[in-house]
Amino acid sequence: MHGLCFGELALVFEQMLAAPGCPAIPVIDPIEAADSLLHRERYFARLSEAIENHHPGTCQWTIPNSATIKTAGTPKADNVDALRVQLASSHVKLPVVCKFVGLTTDAHQMAIASTVAGLAEFVAEAPVGSTIVAQQFVNHGGVLHKIFVIGSAVHDVQRKSIRDLSDKDTETGLVRFDSSTISKATSTSPLHQAAAAAATTTATTTARSISVNTLQRLAQEVGDCLQLSLFGIDVVIDSDTGENVVIDVNYFPGYVGMPNVPEHVVRLVEARCRK
């Protein structure tokens, strides 16, 4: 199976599980559920439905508005008006974070577009045929919550993130960055600020903590919505509203900073085998 992409591998395993005579094999997470996380626009649509199914005012988390953009290789000047209309129809306000969708070599290459012209530049220079999500940026004090989930075990690890953006920041139009240089424990970036580094102090950590009950409920609701047990949720706390905002979900993350990972995985596997 050397050289097969994720989708092809998923098909091979599905065929194997469905083959006559194949023994019953417990599956931790459905292959199609894990595959769905390669398509940001799809799983965010499902998260949006989950939020709407709550009674008004009872959901303890939200998601940013976003627009899905298909690249066609058109020049920047030809994209501006169409993108302005698309952002408006999706209720997306600038600035936005531009992210690629799917398994691509450009997956970590992102940008903050503070003008429609900046977004048009990013789209025009993207590979033809790729899909981009323009996600409304949320000021969050430069702190990202990496919420790691292994079955019923949930752990919150705080990392540095992009600083709150000011009017001066939005004058640049487009700022490109590699996401791997932003929120790893050892990351350093011009997009950080001194206040973000101070997030390790007790006072700041307390101010930006998410309650245990909220963490458990968030993990349960996102896991139920996406049919997953091994995943990570990227959450920021809106500097203006105090809302918990889910900005990304990842399948089987590195779990760096979560204690007792092997033990939690073993418990999850044992629980599935007993079903």
Q: Tens digits of per-residue pLDDT, 233-268?
A: 999 999 999 999 999 999 999 999 999 999 999 999
179: Cβ contacts below 8 Å, ≥ 6 apart = 108, 109, 110
Note whether 222 and 249 are within 8 A (CB).
Answer: yes
Cα(174)–Cα(108) distance, rounded to whole angstroms?
Answer: 16
Whole-number percent of the chain with pLDDT over 90 = 58
Is 248 within any annotated ligand binding site? yes
Q: Is 56 helix (H, G, I), strand (E, B) or coil?
A: coil
Residue-wise pLDDT for 42-93, tens only, equals: 899 999 999 999 888 789 999 999 999 999 888 877 889 999 999 999 999 9
pLDDT (0 to 100) of residue 267: 96
List the 230-237 sheet strands across, edge first: 153-160, 143-150, 230-237, 244-251
pTM for the structure as a whole: 0.86
Q: Please list the residues that pair with 160 across neighbouring strands.
A: 143
Q: Give all domains of the chain, ordered by start, each with its CATH number.
A: 27-63+138-162+209-274 (3.30.470.20), 65-137 (3.30.1490)
Greater pLDDT, 24 or 178: 178
What is the mean predicted confidence (pLDDT) over 88-110?
87
Residue 67 backbone dihedrals phi, psi, to 5 degrees: -130, 140
Cα(210)–Cα(236) distance, rounded to whole angstroms?
Answer: 10
DSSP H stretches of helix in 150-236: 194-197, 202-207, 212-226
177: Cβ contacts below 8 Å, ≥ 6 apart = 110, 111, 112, 189, 191
